[in-house]
Amino acid sequence: MTKSDSPTFSVIMPSYNRAYIIERAIDSVLAQTFADWELIVVDDGSTDNTESVIEDIKDERIHFIKRSKNGGACAARNAALKKSKGKYLVFLDSDNTWDKEYLHKRKNVFDNSACDIVFGYALIKHTDGKEVLWPPKWFGVCANNRDYLESKLFMLCPLDLNTLAINRSCYIRCGGFDEQLSCAQDWDFFSKLIMEGCSFYFDESVLVEGRIQKNSIYNLASNIRWKSYARIIQKNYDYLIEKGLLTDAVASFLMRPDVKDADEKIIEEDLNWIFDGNHKEILQKIRIDLKKNYQFYNVLTRWLALKQKGMSLSDYFKKMDIKEIAVYGMKELGILLCEELKGSETKVAYVIDKNGTIDTVNGYRLYNPNELLPDVDMIVVTAIYYFEEIKAAISSNVYAKIISLTSIIDELEQGYHV
């Protein structure tokens, strides 16, 4: 295939000692049904035969950059970005693959919307055979809500970089990758794009397959991972303070399984800087968040298990003859509940959230819990950790039955024994 001087897509592929697998990744690019692309492969100081593998692939659209020393994936990507000419920039690591329709579908989104960024799901395959969809399915339902995404930007990495396509203008505006980061490079890069105001679209198609290798960044030591997370916090300190998210962000990083073996002294030094020597608050926050996370995932897992058995929350409301409800809490569980009830016989009349600053959320009228609440048949509290506190606070403002989402899941599991 003849190369173009101004291709639609520039594919950025860093590689280090991946001669044994890189051809598989390149083959998935060659197989694309949308053919107007250039592939820039950067060999980041490999000691294997990566170069000869690339030379054997005869396609004028493939460009090869050989770096004499290993500088890390960020430096390799930046080298490729500087050489790129495409209108859109896409990223594929040397151990991952795309569906043959990947570029075609990304192009369709750009052509039919005003977004700067498109990202989506990746199916991650581990060496032990385990497969994980990333980001989690519950996140994908909420991902196109900007307020929600920004609130979670430093709590959960919503991105697998291999799913990301961006308009070149975003790169020109935001710059490339932070070469001081050993890991979490996709998290840092994506956060920068969102904070700069780039518009986005989350595509729910699963078009990317990732594989965890023995030398993957995923397997870096806990100390190295923590230092990268701490750098991200330090870089975005002012933003996190402004949004009131600093404690939440630090807590979420500390609770990650990949830092559980990090040296406590190293963590202590960073926490002292972040919290001016007083980090008792964060430790208390972590203890609370651990309990909240356990309850959240417990309810979510049981809910999904019921759905797999063909049972839904709309069945519960129909059985109870509930025609109209209000939903308290518009984070993940609240948004999922509203989504599930769309088109059912039970209507979501309005939503309640104490942190709401606008009149509507996802098209629903938003009330503050301190307001006099309109009559409905039932109020479902999805902020399950604070149920008793919430029930006590709003019971004088409404005559409806107030019930926790956890209780509804319990009753569904027991066969509506209410």
The CATH number of the domain where 72 resides is what?
3.90.550.10
Q: For the segment 82-103, what is each residue's pLDDT rounded down to a tens digit?
A: 999 999 999 999 999 999 999 9
pLDDT of 288 higher than 70: no
Nearest to 12 by CA among 140, 185, 134, 181: 185
Output b/e per residue, 206-220; b: 16+ Cβ within 10 A.
ebbbbbbbeeebeee
User: 52-56, 152-156, 234-238: lowest mean pLDDT where?
Assistant: 152-156
Provide the pLDDT confidence category of residue 260 given band limits of 50, 70 and 90: confident
Q: Which residue has the higher pLDDT, 172 or 284?
A: 172
Q: Identify each DSSP E strand in 4-147 by its residue range.
A: 9-15, 37-44, 62-67, 88-91, 97-98, 117-125, 131-134
Summarize the confidence of residues 229-235 as an average pLDDT.
91
The verdict on 131 and 55 lying in the same domain is yes
With respect to residue 53, please indicate whether it lies within any of the assigned structural domains: yes
Residues 37-52 have a mean pLDDT of 95
Residue where a domain terminates, one of 176, 196, 218: 218
Query: Which tops the pLDDT comparison, 335 or 417?
Result: 335
246 and 274 Cβ atoms separated by less than 8 Å: yes
What amino acid occupies position 108?
N
User: Are residue 233 and residue 340 in the same domain, yes or no?
Assistant: no
Closest CA to 27 of 78, 107, 98: 98
> Is residue 7 scored above 60 in pLDDT?
yes
Q: Looking at residue 90, what is its pLDDT?
A: 98
Average pLDDT over residues 184-191: 93
Quick count: other Cβ atoms within 10 Å of Cβ 348?
23
Residues 168 and 25 in one domain: yes
Confidence of residue 268 (pLDDT cuts 50, 70, 90): confident
Verify that 208 and 243 share a domain, yes or no: no
Residue 230 maps to a domain: yes
For residue 160, is pLDDT > 90? Answer: yes
Q: Which domain holds residue 65?
A: 9-218
pLDDT at site 417: 43
CA atoms 66, 68, 72, 74: torsion sign: negative
Q: How far is CA 239 from CA 96, 267, 296, 355, in A?
A: 33, 21, 27, 18
**What does pLDDT average to over the chain?**
87
Domain termination site, one of 249, 273, 288:
288
| Shared domain check, 229 and 80 | no
State yes or no: pLDDT of 217 exceeds 90. Answer: no
Residue 155: is its pLDDT beyond 90? no
- What's the total number of domains in the chain? 3
Domain presence at residue 295: no
- Are 186 and 268 part of one and the same domain? no
